[in-house]
Amino acid sequence: MSMLAAFFISQVAKDAAGIAGNIFAFGLFLSPIPTFRRITRNGSTEMFSGLPYIYSLMNCFICLWYGTPLVSRDNLLVTTVNSIGAVFQSVYIILFLMYAEKEKKVRLLGLLLAVLGIFAIILIGSLQIPDIEMRRDFVGFLSCASLISMFASPLFIIKLVIQTKSIEFMPFYLSLSTFLMSTSFLLYGLFNDDAFIYVPNGIGTILGVVQLILYFYYESKSRKESGEPLMVSYA
């Protein structure tokens, strides 16, 4: 196989993995919809927190910026998935602000302004770095750290599932979407030889596998227990 043919196949495989990652990401972006249906129906945010959406917005901003040609080469599909993610998170934050109590609303607005301010500093600061490779490394390390911390957040849910021996708090489709999206971008990063993409998504893939194993283990165990015959007394 010629070098040109190998390069072409690698590019096609990379683009296919990136497109798949964009599609699977919709599962994650759509997962809060049941929560917001409840919020809009009840007219209150109740005990729900707006922090996950603020944090996700920050993560999308940093990764979006990393994917642009001003920072890294040939990462358009990273920009597209995070642009869509930023739109979803923005809509969720707006809805949360509409129904939140005054104290929650003020706190969330303060955090939103802080996120916008931090991102502006990262954006302007990185543009002051004249060397494109140094700029890529600077933003890449930030995006990598942000992704790793985001993928580490399910550790709490994993611990809860093991403690309670219940999958009630770990929706199957959310775990599946996390696994599929992480695996897609793991392959995308490998084909693009980009450690800032394949390292955090490799961690996300491992955690996704752990979640799916736990889901099927406790789901089958629960089905087996519920299927056991009741004790019959012949006295």
Residue by residue, DSSP assigns the chain as --HHHHHHHHHHHHHHHHHHHHHHHHHHHHTTHHHHHHHHHHTS-TT--SHHHHHHHHHHHHHHHHHSTTTSSS-HHHHHHHHHHHHHHHHHHHHHHHHS-HHHHHHHHHHHHHHHHHHHHHHHHHHT--SHHHHHHHHHHHHHHHHHHHHHTHHHHHHHHHHHT--TTS-HHHHHHHHHHHHHHHHHHHHTT-HHHHHHHHHHHHHHHHHHHHHHHHHHHHHHHHTSPPP----
**Contact call for residues 175 and 208 (beta carbons, < 8 A):** yes
What pLDDT is attached to residue 220?
A: 76
Quick check: is 45 in a domain? yes
Across the range 202-222, mean pLDDT stands at 86
**Paired tokens of 101:** 């109590």
Which of 3-7, 41-45, 67-71 is the least confident region? 3-7
Residue 95, domain extent: 31-146
Q: What type of residue is 150?
A: M
What pLDDT band is residue 187 in, cutting at 50, 70 and 90? very high
What pLDDT is attached to residue 71?
A: 95
Region of 44 please: left (phi>0), alpha (psi -120 to 50) or beta.
beta
Total domains in the fold of the chain? 1
Between 99 and 11, where is the model more confident? 99
pLDDT in tens, 126-177: 999 999 999 999 999 999 999 888 877 777 777 777 887 877 767 788 888 8
Q: Cα separation of 222 and 220, whole Å? A: 5
Q: Cα separation of 211 and 208, whole Å? A: 5
Quick check: is 190 in a domain? no
Is the pLDDT at 234 greater than 60? The verdict is no
CA atoms within 13 A on the CB side of 91: 10
Quick check: is 91 in a domain? yes
**Paired tokens of 131:** 């060397």
Quick check: is 111 in a domain? yes
Quick check: is 184 in a domain? no
Q: Cα separation of 16 and 202, whole Å? A: 18
Between 157 and 123, where is the model more confident? 123
What pLDDT is attached to residue 226?
A: 53
End-to-end CA distance of the chain: 79
What pLDDT is attached to residue 1?
A: 56
Quick check: is 224 in a domain? no
Is the pLDDT at 69 greater than 50? The verdict is yes
What pLDDT is attached to residue 68?
A: 94
Quick check: is 102 in a domain? yes
Quick check: is 167 in a domain? no
What pLDDT band is residue 231 in, cutting at 50, 70 and 90? very low
What pLDDT band is residue 235 in, cutting at 50, 70 and 90? very low
Percent of the chain with pLDDT over 90: 54
